[in-house]
Structures are given as C-alpha cells and as structure tokens.
Amino acid sequence: MLTLFVTKSAEIWYNYNMITKLGCYPERQLNLVTKNIDGVMVTLQEPAMNALINAADRCTVRIAIISSYRSCEEQKKLYDAYAACVAKYGHVYKCGLSAPPGNSYHNIGLAIDISNYESRKIRRALLNNGWKWGASFGDKPHFTYQP
C-alpha cells in the first residue's frame, strides 16, 4: 500500500507501508532494499532491514545470514526439491522445511535464516527488534519480522 503525503511546504514524499500478507507480489510493490551485510547481500522490506541493522548493532558477534528475500520463482525451486526429497525418503525429517511459493515470509521480504541461531545474544538482539524465532514451528534458523 502506498500513501502519499503532502506537507505544508508542498514537499512530497512517499511512505511505503509494509506488506504483511503472504502471497506472491511483483518486487516493485514490496519496497525491498538490498544491503551488503558482512559480505552477504541481504534483501528485505525496508522496516525489516532497519530492524535487522539495529539488532546487528547490538551484537558483538555478527549475525550469519544464509537467506533473506526469495522470489516465488526461487521458492518454487526449493519447494519442488523438498517435495522430491519427501517423496524419496517418505518423511519430512531429512528434507529440511520448505513452504510452497507464496506461503513463506521470505517471499515478501520479512524473513531471514541465520546459521548462528544457537547464540543467545543474537537471538535476544533479534527478538528485541521485532523478529520472531521459528523454533516454535521447528525451523530454528528462521526469523520472521513481526513487530
């Protein structure tokens, strides 16, 4: 959703509200920003990026980011590989977790996966900045931005 503000000085700026409803959107609708964080290109909606940077500023250990925004095309490839794995092994356990395209917060730029989620300090910094941990649904590397 795009809101246009007109100030007294007739200066105009745009306020891009976060898209929080899951689905597949054209990238230009998502207000994505990409930043190089410790050598990793991270793409998120702007409020989530700001919250991640705030969290990172509080850590003396760097947050090791594996994945952030994924297009629905990329999500389909992951999901197809996951479905093939489940078909081959007969259970989800070995195959990691993958949501169908449009059913992941990665697809709207509000999720990250990190490799050093065991660090209590990092988890606390993320939780204190509006990120929710995926451990409650069995996805420990995953954090969703839900302030």
* Shortest Å distance, C-beta 79 to Zn ion: 13
Give bridge partners of residue 35 from the DSSP assignment. Answer: 42
Q: In whole angstroms, what is the distance from residue 25 CA to residue 19 CA?
A: 9
What is the total residue count of the chain? 147
Residues of span 49-68 touching Zn ion by CB under 5 A = none
Indicate whether 109 belongs to the interface with Zn ion (CB under 5 A): no
Measured distance CA(128)–CA(123) in Å, rounded:
8
**Residue in 69, 126, 142, 145 binding Zn ion, rule: CB under 5 A:** 142
Distance CA 114, CA 112 (A): 6
Candidates 16-24, 79-87, 106-114, 119-127 — which segment interacts with Zn ion by CB under 5 A?
A: 106-114
Scanning 12-20, 26-34, 73-81, 105-113 for contacts with Zn ion by CB under 5 A, the matching segment is 105-113
**For Zn ion, the closer CB: 28 or 52:** 52
Rounded to the nearest whole angstrom, what is the least distance from the CB of residue 75 to Zn ion in the complex? Answer: 11
- In DSSP notation, 61-130 reads SPP-EEE----HHHHHHHHHHHHHHHHHHSSSGGG---PPTTSSGGGGT-EEEES-TT-HHHHHHHHTTT
Of residues 52 and 111, the one with the C-beta less far from Zn ion: 111
The closest residue (CB) to Zn ion is 142
Residue of 43, 107, 113, 130 interacting with Zn ion (CB under 5 A): 113
Helix (H) or strand (E) holding 87: helix 72-89
Binding residues (CB under 5 A) for Zn ion: these are 111, 113, 142
